[in-house]
Amino acid sequence: MARKAKQMKKNDDGAPVKHGLLEKLTVRISHNEKLLFAKYLSVLLHAGLAIDEALDILIQQSKGPLKTILTNLKIRVRNGDMLADGFADYPHVFTPVFINLIRAGERSGTLQDNLEHLVLQMEKDRNLKQKIRGAMAYPIIVLVGALILSVGIVVFILPNILNVFTTLKVELPITTRMLIWFANLLVNHGVLVAFGLIALFTSWLVARRLSFVQPLFHGILMSFPIIGSVVRNTNLARICRLMGTMLKSGMPINECIPVTVSVLKNVHYKWLFNSTLDEVSRGRTISSVLKKYPKRFPPMALRMISVGEETGTLPDMLIYLANFYEQEVDDATRNLSTMLEPVLLIVIGLMVGVLALSIVTPIYQILGTV
C-alpha cells in the first residue's frame, strides 16, 4: 500500500504528478473552487473543446490541490476512463451528487447541460448556507459580547465592592452570596473554569456527531418554534433541489433517492427516504409514500409532487418547490434577528438586573443599619 501511494506519473510537460492513495485521501478544495471549476468546464465544453483540452486549460489556470486533481483527471480521461470515475477517486472532495450528475451526463451525452444543472444546484446550496449563517451571527455576537462584559465586571470590578460586603456584619441576600461565590471561583480557578468550558463545548461538538445522539439532537432542533421551521424548510429545499436536478439530468428516481440520502445531514429525513426507496422499488409513487410523514412533508409539497408524477413534470415541480422553500428560508432568516431581539433583550436585562440587585440590595441594608 505504501509503495502504491508513492507511485508517480508524468504529465505532458514531463513534470511528475503524484496520484497515489495517500494524496487522494489528504487533498482538499473549497466549495467555491469546485463551483468555479464546474462553471468553467461547462463554458469550455459549450465552446466545443474536448474534455482533455478543457482540462488542460483549467490546469494552466489552477494551483495547489485543485491543479493536482485536474492533472490526475486528465490522465484518467486520456487513458480512456470516464470523467466521473476520476471524480470518484476523491469521494471526500466531490459529493455523490456531483459524481452522479457527471456520470449521468456522460452516459446520456448531456454533460454540458448536467454541468449547468450542477452549477445551479451548488450556487443555491451555497446561498442557503450563507443565509443561515448570517442570520445566526447577530444573536451569537450579542450573547457572546454580553457574556464577556458580565465576566469582565465580575472578575475586575465586583471583587473590590463585594469585599466590603463580606467585612460587614450584614445578612447578604442569596443573589449577592451567589455572585461572591462566582467571582471567587473565576478569580481563584479561572483557568480550570476556562478549560472546563472548552472541554464541555468540545464534548458537545463530538457528541452531536455520534449516530445514537443525532436522532435526539435533530429531533429537538426541529421542535423549536422558529428554528424548527427553518430546519424543516432548509431540508425540504435541499431535497427538492437535489432530486429535481438529478431527475432533469436523466437519472431514474430509484437512483436519485440513495444519492439524496447520502448528502442529507438530518437523520430523520435520511430514515424517511431510506424507507421511501424500499416502497418506490416495489412500484409505489413517491408522493403516496411521503403522505405517511405529514410532519416532514407539508400537504402543499405532497400535492405538487403528486401532480408532477401524474403529468410527467416531477423535475419541474421539485425545482419549483426548491425555489419556494429557499424563499421561505430567506424570509425566515431575514426576520430571525427581529424575532430574536425581544428574547435577547430579556436575557441581557435579566443579567443586568441580577448584577444590580446583588449590589444595590446590600447597600440599602447597610444604610438601614446606620
| Residue range 20-39, pLDDT digits in tens | 544 555 667 888 888 888 89
Matching CATH number, 119-370, of 1.10.260.40, 3.30.450.20, 1.20.81.30, 3.30.565.10: 1.20.81.30
What per-residue confidence (pLDDT) applies to 16? 39
Per residue in 294-337, pLDDT tens? 888 888 899 999 999 999 899 999 999 999 998 888 888 777 77
Structural domain boundaries in the chain: 2-94, 119-370
Q: Is the pLDDT of residue 185 over 70?
A: yes
Query: How does the average pLDDT of the chain come out, rounded?
Result: 81
| End-to-end C-alpha distance for the chain, whole angstroms | 85
Long-range contacts of 280-288 (CB under 8 A, 24+ apart): 280/253, 280/254, 281/254, 285/309, 286/253
Q: How confident is the model at residue 10 (pLDDT cuts 50, 70, 90)?
A: very low
Higher pLDDT, residue 203 or 16: 203
Q: In this structure, what C-alpha cell is assigned to residue 33?
A: 473552487
289: number of Cβ within 10 Å: 19
Cα-flanking dihedrals φ and ψ of residue 341, to 5°?
-60, -45
Q: What is the mean pLDDT of the segment spanning 148-152? A: 78
Residue 17 pLDDT: 44
Extract the C-alpha cell encoding 4: 502504491
Report whether pLDDT(9) > 70.
no
Average pLDDT over residues 139-150: 80
Query: Which of 25-29, 129-133, 257-261 comes out lowest in average pLDDT?
Result: 25-29
pLDDT exceeds 70 at position 162? no
From residue 348, alpha-carbon distances to 55, 161, 353, 356 in Å are 56, 22, 8, 12
Among residues 97, 132, 96, 138, the alpha carbon closest in space to that of 114 is found at 97
State residue 170's pLDDT score: 67
Q: Which of 263, 292, 262, 259 is nearest to 275 (CA)?
A: 292
Q: Binning pLDDT at 50, 70 and 90, where does residue 168 land?
A: low
pLDDT at residue 7 greater than cutoff 50: no
Domain 2-94 has CATH 3.20.20.80: no
pLDDT value for 2: 37
d(CA 95, CA 82): 17
Asked if 154 and 185 touch (Cβ cutoff 8 Å), the reply is no
**Does residue 277 register a pLDDT over 80?**
yes
Residue 362 confidence (pLDDT) above 80 = no
Mean pLDDT along residues 236-244: 89
> Which DSSP letter does residue 212 get?
T
Please state the rounded mean pLDDT for residues 120-124. 86
Percentage of the chain lying above the pLDDT 90 cut: 6
* Identical fold between 2-94 and 119-370: yes
Predicted TM-score of the model (pTM): 0.71
- Of 168-177, 274-283, 323-332, the range with the lowest mean pLDDT is 168-177
Tell me, rounded to whole angstroms, the distance of Cα 304 from its chain centroid: 27
Q: Phi, psi (5° rounding) for residue 251?
A: -75, 140
Per-residue confidence band for 1, with pLDDT thresholds at 50, 70 and 90: very low
Task: Pick the closest to residue 44 from 115, 120, 117 (CA basis).
Answer: 115
Q: Please tell me the predicted confidence (pLDDT) of residue 52.
A: 86
CA dihedral 342, 343, 345, 346 (to 10 degrees): 120
- d(C-alpha 104, C-alpha 115), whole Å: 10
- Mean pLDDT across the stretch 169-173? 71
Q: Kindly tell me if the per-residue pLDDT of 15 is higher than 70.
A: no
Q: Per residue in 211-239, is it b (16+ CB within 10 Å) or e — as a string? A: eeebeebbeebbeeeebeebbbbbbbbbb
pLDDT of residue 320: 92
User: How far, in Å, CA of 181 to CA of 155, rounded?
Assistant: 11
SS3 209: coil
So what's the pLDDT on residue 31? 85
Amino acid sitting at position 151: V
Statement: residue 18 has pLDDT above 60: no
